[in-house]
């Protein structure tokens, strides 16, 4: 390595949205380096950020707050140094999940639960030590929640460095924050009253899931189902050669195949939104032990149920220290099913593109291949498939692990739960990629027609079925002998029909049949797709 003070190189940290530039220098002297962030004042259209890995003492949280205002403390500035592509390369597609599943988001929801619990206690007459709070005090506490900022979250992290406990740090933060309001200052010790950390955490996660799905994930799922449904209706009439086992099969229509996916995905979305998000608030081992000792006459299970349901979460009465996460397993398994169907869709579209059934609308300046100028790769569907595989691996792992906890509590779920946003982040990235790919699709009807024109053998199915109707012996065997291993043309198939012992009316109907017309009820089914799904009501956690 070069001498102290030397730089190994410089590069621009840039993205389409942030247009940042920066310099990275790596200096010797220690086995680890602290990343320091030094934003500087810039114009409204762009900003300059110096990123250095130095051997200086660790930058304190206070210094970081002074250097980074909330406006500039946007992780997008530092995309090129992120370990996860969700916060780096793909940040523009995933950043809407940050308020829910980032460390900031988790802390924010914890603060909300703690504040709401104090407000609940103030409304219980038997708890005289916490008199009903005035409107001013209630407004003050609500503002603590509503105005919770990045700097507030950093303050909690500073406290966590001392406590080595993330939930206790939230309690201490609230005590510090509320000392300035005399009425609330009198009841500071009732923050976190009779709570175990998991009383706070389980509700924080449930709230983050509910809000993230209702505001971000469900709307994109609905948009995706709608886009595929529109593909179905717009292309309901376009005949297409089916392939079963990769071989030419009875024709369908392009729209009908899209309708299949629209219905499957919508059905999974509806099932997903039926999952009950559950919460507990029953103390250290789920029995209200401390509650009962402090206030023996209060019906604590009833109070806990009122509190949990007031947050919009359904109450789970039978728990240990933790809410057992069974609903999360149901939720994540449901998402895995939705994602698996979308993988199936992506692969089919990929194949249709490779057959030439779809062209992809090109964009000026875009490159499909670094060496083959003619290529337009189906990258959106490939990107989606890859991210769905990652999402399903993570979400399946969460579903398998989270319902298991030794005795009344172990901490294996704690670190695992922090990856919910990763699984959902890869999912939302995949949904958006598929949507982007759909917008580029352009049907190539002539190519679809060509494939059908080369597949007259698919009419062997209706011919042998009509033969059965009129009692012609061994119809299947006759068609098998006629078609297998032979090139079947329009002429040869009509010659075969002409030689059959069938009523003239039946022969006439078969003679006008073509692979392009042999689509059954496919067109009608595709056009009626909206009757099979309910996207107007949407998916939502109530």
Which residue numbers are catalytic?
245, 369
CA-wise closest residue to 37 among 13, 15, 2: 13
511's tokens: 């003679």
Location of structure tokens 């998916």: 539
- Reference 313, options 321, 323, 77, 421; nearest CA is 323
Q: How far apart are CA 290 and CA 63, in angstroms?
A: 41
Alpha-carbon span 260 to 225, nearest angstrom:
11
Question: Do residues 219 and 430 make contact, with C-beta atoms less than 8 angstroms apart?
Answer: no
Own/partner contacts of 398-401, CB < 8 Å, gap of 24 or more, are: 398/328, 398/329, 398/332, 398/423, 399/328, 399/329, 399/332, 399/333, 399/336, 400/329
- What does the H/E/C string look like for 27-67? CCCCCCCEEEEEECCCCCCCEEEEEEEECCCCCCHHHHHHH
- The CA–CA distances, whole Å, from 68 to 48, 102, 189, 205, 372 equal 12, 18, 33, 28, 45
CA dist., res. 89 & res. 17, Å (int): 11
Under a CB-based contact definition with an 8 Å cutoff, are residues 66 and 151 in contact?
no
SS3 for 359? strand
Closest CA to 190 of 106, 105, 107, 133: 133
Cβ neighbors of 337 (< 8 A, separation 6 or more) are: 268, 271
Beta strands in 145-293 (DSSP E): 239-244, 247-253, 278-279
* Contact between 468 and 475 (Cβ < 8 Å): yes
């Amino acid at each position: 390595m070069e001498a102290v003070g030397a730089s190994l190189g410089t590069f621009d940290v840039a993205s389409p949205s942030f247009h940042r530039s920066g310099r990275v220098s790596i200096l010797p002297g220690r086995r680890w380096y602290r990343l320091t962030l030094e934003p500087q004042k810039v114009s409204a259209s762009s900003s300059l950020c110096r990123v250095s890995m130095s051997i200086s003492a660790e930058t304190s949280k206070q210094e970081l707050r002074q250097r980074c205002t909330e406006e500039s403390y946007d992780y997008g500035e530092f995309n090129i140094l992120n370990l996860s592509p969700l916060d780096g390369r793909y940040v523009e597609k995933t950043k809407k999940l940050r308020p829910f599943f980032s460390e900031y988001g988790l802390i924010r929801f914890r603060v909300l639960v703690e504040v709401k619990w104090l407000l609940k206690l103030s409304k219980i007459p038997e708890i005289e030590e916490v008199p009903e709070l005035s409107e001013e005090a209630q407004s003050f506490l609500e503002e603590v929640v509503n105005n919770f900022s990045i700097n507030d979250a950093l303050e909690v992290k500073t406290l966590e460095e001392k406590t080595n406990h993330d939930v206790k740090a939230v309690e201490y933060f609230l005590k510090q924050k509320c000392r300035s309001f005399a009425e609330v200052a009198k009841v500071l010790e009732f923050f976190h009253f009779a709570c175990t950390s998991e009383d706070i955490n389980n509700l924080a996660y449930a709230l983050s899931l509910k809000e993230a799905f209702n505001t971000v994930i469900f709307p994109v799922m609905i948009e995706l189902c709608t886009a595929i449904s529109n593909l179905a209706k717009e292309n309901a009439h376009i005949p297409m050669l089916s392939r079963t086992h990769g071989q030419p099969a009875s024709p369908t229509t392009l729209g009908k195949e899209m309708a299949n996916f629209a219905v499957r995905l919508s059905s999974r979305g509806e099932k997903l939104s039926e999952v009950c998000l559950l919460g507990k608030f029953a103390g250290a081992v789920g029995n209200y032990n401390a509650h009962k000792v402090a206030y023996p006459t209060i019906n604590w299970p009833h109070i806990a149920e009122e509190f949990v349901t007031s947050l919009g979460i359904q109450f789970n009465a039978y728990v240990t220290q933790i809410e057992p996460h069974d609903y999360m397993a149901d939720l994540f398994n449901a998402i895995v099913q939705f994602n698996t169907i979308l993988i199936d869709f992506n692969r089919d579209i990929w194949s249709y593109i490779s057959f030439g059934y779809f062209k992809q609308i090109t964009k000026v300046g875009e490159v499909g291949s670094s060496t083959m100028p003619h290529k337009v790769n189906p990258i959106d569907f490939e990107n989606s498939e890859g991210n769905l595989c990652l999402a399903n691996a993570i979400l399946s792992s969460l579903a398998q692990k989270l319902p298991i906890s030794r005795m009344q509590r172990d901490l294996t779920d704690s670190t695992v739960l922090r990856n919910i946003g990763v699984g959902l982040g890869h999912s939302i990235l995949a949904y958006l990629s598929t949507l982007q790919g759909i917008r580029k699709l352009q049907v190539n009807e002539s190519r679809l027609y060509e494939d059908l024109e080369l597949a007259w053998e698919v009419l062997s199915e209706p011919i042998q079925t009509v033969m059965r109707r009129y009692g012609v012996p061994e119809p299947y065997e006759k068609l098998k002998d006629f078609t297998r291993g032979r090139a079947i043309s329009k002429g040869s198939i009509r010659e075969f029909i002409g030689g059959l012992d069938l009523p003239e009316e039946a022969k006439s109907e078969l003679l006008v049949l073509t692979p392009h017309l042999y689509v059954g009820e496919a067109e009608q089914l595709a056009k009626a797709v909206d009757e099979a799904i309910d996207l107007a009501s949407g998916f939502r956690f109530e």
